[in-house]
Amino acid sequence: MSDYKAFRVELADKVAQVTINRPEKVNAMNADFWAEIIEIFRWVDATDEVRVVVLSGAGKHFSSGIDLMLLAQVGSQLGKDVGRNAETLRRKILELQASFNAVDQCRKPVLAAIQGYCLGGAIDLIAACDMRYATADAQFAIKEIDIGMAADVGTLQRLPRIIGDGMMRELAYTGRTIDGEEARRLGLVNRTFADASALLDGVMEIAREIAAKSPIAVRGTKEMIRYMRDHRVDDGLEYVATWNAAMLQSADLRVAMAAHMSKQKPEFAD
């Protein structure tokens, strides 16, 4: 684990804890953030010992979203030709999207633990995670509408699959703030906790539980659910058959079976 400017990264019990670490800036997403998050998730993907990731924010808030300084800086790079500016902007947006795609495409489950503010770009980020957990009084808002723009790093693309079409539109058009409880009722978060400490304990417990399962099985399961977000049922069935054609030859099934028979906890290789 190298040294990061915008993050703190720890690894214990096969769970990587990735913490956005700019509490004095409400964990706003600056240039360091966007670059380092890719590196971190590349490391997660490549490191067998990491089986699950918990993503959280240091201090009172999860994150206030993109750092407005960064936006201003992009603006300052534009020239006079509208067409060439459009090319520059398009590539910059694709580059920012790539940072959250790294979270989405990570082969290992990513659990977000959210307290305080979770605004704008922070919604785009948690929409790329596998599951979301929050304090009851966390505050969520799709703030992009109030900066005069359509959200473009993932919220509008991934959230409708999670919370459904109807309420999605209300939240995106109005930028209305909802708390953790309403987020839970909408399906945005899976469970709420009384405070930040209970939240982190609870999420770490779920993370460790998943980390104890067969890594082959967990990664295959994630790949299949991710695949179904964009594919047909018949394609999904064919894909899992092809996938399991190799994976069912892994030792993990025998390990799991043996543990089941002997009523013991299985130990899987990384």
116 is catalytic: no
The angle subtended at Cα 230 by Cα 226 and Cα 232, nearest 5°, is: 110
Minimum distance from residue 16 beta carbon to a copy of itself (Å)? 16
Please pick, from the candidates 144, 178, 180, 204, the single residue that binds a copy of itself as defined by CB under 8 A.
Answer: 144
For residue 239 the two structure tokens come to 């894909």
Of residues 32, 152, 182, 223, which has the active-site annotation? 152
Alpha-carbon span 39 to 17, nearest angstrom:
15
38 is catalytic: no
Alpha-carbon span 21 to 27, nearest angstrom:
6
Interface with a copy of itself, residue 73, by CB under 8 A: no
Burial of 264 (0-12, 13-18, 19+ CB in 10 A): exposed
Interface with a copy of itself, residue 174, by CB under 8 A: yes
Alpha-carbon span 172 to 216, nearest angstrom:
37
Cβ atoms within 10 Å, residue 256:
16
Alpha-carbon span 101 to 95, nearest angstrom:
10
Q: Which residues within the stretch 15-34 sit at the binding site for a copy of itself (CB under 8 A)?
A: none
- Contact flags string 31-70 toward a copy of itself, x per CB under 8 A: -------------------------------------x--
Region near a copy of itself per CB under 8 A, out of 35-43, 57-65, 82-90, 196-204: 82-90
Interface with a copy of itself, residue 253, by CB under 8 A: yes
Q: Given the complex with a copy of itself, which of 11 and 89 has the nearer CB atom?
A: 89
Q: How far apart are the first and last CA of the chain?
A: 18
144 is catalytic: yes
Region near a copy of itself per CB under 8 A, out of 14-22, 28-36, 182-190, 192-200: 182-190
Buried residues in 117-144 as b, exposed as e (16+ CB within 10 A): bbbbbbbbbbbbbbbbbbbbebbbbbbb
Interface with a copy of itself, residue 177, by CB under 8 A: no
Q: Which residues within the stretch 115-134 sit at the binding site for a copy of itself (CB under 8 A)?
A: 130-132
Q: Given the complex with a copy of itself, which of 12 and 245 has the nearer CB atom?
A: 245
Q: Which residues within the stretch 192-251 sit at the binding site for a copy of itself (CB under 8 A)?
A: 206, 209-210, 213-214, 216-225, 228-251
